[in-house]
Structure 1
Amino acid sequence: MQGFSELQLGRLDEVRVSVVLHPGVTLLSLTAGTMGGRPHGVPRHWRRAVMASAPRNAAEVLRPLFAPQFSVIPDCVSPTVSMSEVDADTHLERLADLSPDTLLSELEAEFSPAVPAQWQPVVERPRAWISAYAHLMRMLWQEFKPVWRRADSLLKRERERVGSAVVSNRLETVLGNLSKRFQFSGTTLGLPDQQAKRFDLAGRRLALVPIVSGNGASVFAFDDPETAWIGYPLPALGVLWDDSGHEPPASDSLALTLGQARATILRMARASLTMSEVASLLRSTPASATYHCAQLEAAGLLERERHGRHVRIRSTAKGEALVDLLA
C-alpha cells in the first residue's frame, strides 16, 4: 500500500516560500514516469517520444534508481542535487564528471549496513554505469528540452501566482491545491512515498518546484539543512499536451487554466452534449473525451444527465461561473 511522508510546516505565516524553476526536477520526474514505473501521469505521446530517444539499455541502466520498494535516489546521481536554476545541461555535465568513489561512498552511506541488490551491478562497475547513465539522461533531455522551453510563460505565471498568494497570506490555498496526490491538513503536507517518514520544516526555506512532465508528478527532498523542496505538477500543464506544441493565446484565460480541450468542453457544455459529440468536438478518441469529462466532473464543473439510454454532460453552476469569470 502506498504510504505518505509528512512535512510539518509550523505556522504558515512564518514559512519562507520561494518558487524554483528547476529543469532537473522535471527531467527526474519525466524519467520516473516514462521508464521508472512511477505514476507521474506523463501523456502518451510524450512517453512515446522520450522512449524512442532512449538507448537500448535504458531499462537496465535505470533499474537501480526505481526499484518498487525504494524511493531514495543518491544525491550525486540526481539532477536535483542543487536547487539552483541553472540549465539542465549544466547538471548533466556534473553527472558525467561524477567520480566512481563518490558514488560508492554515497551508496554505502545511504543504504548502510548493506547496499540493496539492485545496486550491486553498479558497485561492481561504477564507472561504466555512470557513463551509461549520463548518456541516457542527456538523450532524454535533448528530446524533451523543447517542451520545457514552451512551458516558459506558464512557469513564470506560476511564480507570480504563488508570490501573490504568499503576499496576501493565502499560502494554505496554494498548498491545498498542489496536487490531487498530496494531502494537506492544517500545517501538515503529506506526499506519496514508499518509505513513509516524518519531517519538520523547522524554519528552513520551502521551495516549490513546478514540474513539466505529467499531472501526477511528485518529487521531493526534505533532508537538506537549509531548504526543503517539493516538486508538483505545473498548473495548466494540459495546454502543452497538444501535439502541435502551440500554446493558447495569453487572452484565453480559461484554456490557460484548464487546458485547451477542457476549456472547449466547458464552453460548449452549457447545452448538454453526448460523449460522441464531445469526441467529435475535440477531434479526439472517445477514451480521451471521457477522460477530460471525468476530470471536469471530479472538479465539480460538469454533471451527468441520463436521457433514456444515453448519458449527456452539462456544465454545473460552478462550471458556468468559471467560464464567466475567465471570459
Structure 2
Amino acid sequence: MDHTKRLRITGVIVAVIVVFSIAGYIDLIHPGTVDKGKEITVGTDVNGIHINKIVSLSPAATGTLYALGVSSDIIAVGPCTHFPYNVTENLQKVTCYPDFSAQQIINLKPDAVISSSSYKATEVQELLDAGINYIYLDSGSGSTFHLIEKQDTLLGKLTGTMSNASKLNSWMNTSLNDFKDTGLTNKSVFYALCIENHAPWTSGNNTFINSMFNYAHLKNVMTDSGFFQASTQVVANDSPQVLLLGTRVNLSQINTPTYESTPAYKNDSVFQITDADVYSEPNFRDIFAIQDLIQSVYNKTVNIPEFPLHLEYNVNPTSTVEKVKT
C-alpha cells in the first residue's frame, strides 16, 4: 500500500472517531434523549400511531382491549382490574390510586398508558418525557354510550383492530335500540351507592349509571348532577317505585321507617347490584347489565344480538343485580 493511500485511510478512521466522540459528548450532555410521548383523547388525530405494549390503569379499557383481541399487548394493569380474570391475574400490577408511580411504569418500557382517572399534570408529563403516550379515556361527568363508542374506535385505531371495534359498536347500537323498543312504562328509581351516617350516597344527572337507567326504562328521582349525599327525607318525599342498592349497602341499613314508607319497599321492588365492576366500569359490558336490570325490575326479557366477537372467556356476567327480600 502506497503512502498516499495509507494517509487517506488514516484520515477516514480519524474522522469516524471524531464523529462518534462528538455523538458521545452530546449524549453525555443530553442523556437518554427520546421523542416525547403524545397525550391522546378521543379527539386526537392518531394517524401513524400504533401501540402494542400497554399499561392499562383503566379496568374498562382493559375489558375493551380484551374484546378487541389485543389483551396480549397489555403488560401491566392496576390492582383493581378484575376482568377478564384469566387474562389479568398473571399480569404485573402497578400503583394507580390515588396517584401512579411514573418510575414504576417507565421501568416497564410501555409505548402507551391508558387511564380513565385524572392524574396530576406533573405525573403525566413524566411519562410523556420518557416517550410514553398517555391515553385518557374520560369516564366522569357526562359519560354516555356514545362516548364509549368513540373510545372503542380510538382503541381500534391505535391497536390496528378497527374491524373488531366497528363490530363491537354496531352490536352496542343495535342492543340499545332493542332496549328502546320494549313498550315499557318508566318506573321511578332511587340508587343508593352506599350509606354513610344514615345518609345515602347517590347519583343524579350527567352520570353514566343515569344513562343506563334511561335505557332500562327507569327514571331517576335525583335530578341534581353527579354523585352526592342525599337526605333520607328526600328519598321518602320522592316515593321511588324501585330501590337499587350498591354492593356496599347492608339490608339492615334500609330497614328503617324512611325506606319502608316508599312504594319500592312496600311492593317488594328492592334490588341489589351484585357485580360492582360492571356498574363502575363504562364499556360494552354495560349492555348486559341493562338487559339484566330490565329482566329483574320488569320481569321482561329483551333479546339482543349475539355478541359478535369470538373470545376465549365469556364477556357476559352471569348476574349483575338481584331482588332483595324485604
| TM category, shorter | under 0.3
Instruction: Name the structure, 1 or 2, with higher relative contact order (CA <8 Å, separation 6+).
Output: 1
Which structure's residues are more often helix, by fraction? 1
Q: What is the TM-score normalised by the length of structure 2?
A: 0.27
Q: What is the TM-score normalised by the length of structure 1?
A: 0.27
